[in-house]
Amino acid sequence: MSRLNLDDFSELIERPDSGIRRDAEERRERLAVPPGALGRLDELGEWLSAAQGAVPVRPVERPKAVLFAGDHGVAALGVSGRPAGTAHTLVRAVLDGVGPAAVLARRAGVPVRVVDAGLDCDPGLLPEEVVRHRVRRGSGRIDVEDALTAEEAERAVRLGMAIADEEADSGTDLVVLGDLSVGGTTVAATLIAALCGTDASVVTGRGGAGIDDLAWMRKCAAVRDALRRARPVLGDQLELLAAVGGADVAAMTGFLLQAAVRRTPVILDGVVSAACALVGQRAAFRAPDWWLAGQVSGEPAQAKALDRMALNPLLDHGVTVGEGTGALLALPLVQAAAALAAELPERPDQPEPRDARGEDGSD
């Protein structure tokens, strides 16, 4: 198998159809509801039309939540609100239907797929369909060692690509993308700081589980040290993911890039998916045209990444839990935009103006 080069995606990914988008905009001008009255829903409907290549837009009927799971060795430094190596408990909560993402997905009728890319637990704790894709058990401590070997990084990216192909082939028409990780926001902050050229303190937040001031300082130090290891490999996205990423992060990056190849729109969740998207943008500049930002997570690194990709979040409700929750909250908005664009009637033809003197031209 030849070595994967993420730069090749630049030639494979095309933008959504601009001609179709113009047709969708023209159709919007003819609807009975005045232009502008639906606000951003108009923009979302037109974006979906272009992504689908269809006017009017088709309803979003087969969405899927895809959550990549992994543990990060950097969590051992006490940078997370959860103990290191416990991401499997987040997975179990989703599988048992009691995690926030599971509750929202059930309410919306959205199936959830969990992919273990790098959990640090006995595989017997989880179902075979979850753990069978695992690249390795946990990821390395990025402040002092590589997260993955070069071979593992490539395997993880190819795993994400394969999952994207499976979803596209099965008819999934929109993906809600999230992560189930411990230590993931530290990895995400490192990737975003490296790609945006900023310092650790600028991008380091308090994570979905929340951390106190001492943990935040430890997290800043971890990001600072990891950045020293990231900067020398910025020219190669695969090397960057191996150095300071992780199996789940690399898999999500591969998923996002291949989803764009397959013309499958994706709603991003929080800072981890934003970091993966930023790596993807570095490889293929057209790829972000296939993605939406679901919500503001409160993480400063997410804001940096979304600004770099010119993605404007759909929601800002102060939800910090992660795990795909914010993207699931945004999904009904996208579905509503599609329904309105598809089902609102056009204005009836306007009558020809009458002569002021009467129909026959007389006074």
- Point out the residues that are catalytic: 323
- Adjacent-strand bridge partners of 114: 67
CA distances from 291 to 267, 280, 295, 302, 324 (A): 6, 11, 12, 14, 14
DSSP string for 86-147:
-HHHHHHHHHTT-SHHHHHHHHHT--EEEEEEE--S-GGGS-HHHHTT--SSSB--TTTS-S
Residue 59: how many CB atoms within 10 A of its CB? 14
DSSP code at position 338:
H
Q: Does a cis peptide bond (omega within 30 degrees of 0) precede residue 34?
A: no
C-alpha neighbours within 13 Å on the C-beta side of residue 131: 17
Q: State phi, psi for 361 to the nearest 5 degrees.
A: 85, 0
Pick the closest to residue 162 from 284, 269, 266, 262 (CA basis).
Answer: 262
Residue 54: how many CB atoms within 10 A of its CB? 15
Pick the closest to residue 47 from 222, 213, 291 (CA basis).
Answer: 291
CA distances from 35 to 30, 118, 311 (A): 9, 48, 23
Q: Using CA of residue 50, residue 52, residue 58, residue 59, what is the dihedral sign?
A: negative
Contacts of 264 (CB under 8 A, 6+ apart): 164, 167, 168, 172, 173, 174, 175, 290
Pick the closest to residue 230 from 267, 190, 264 (CA basis).
Answer: 190
Q: Residue 136's Cα: distance from chain center in Å?
A: 23
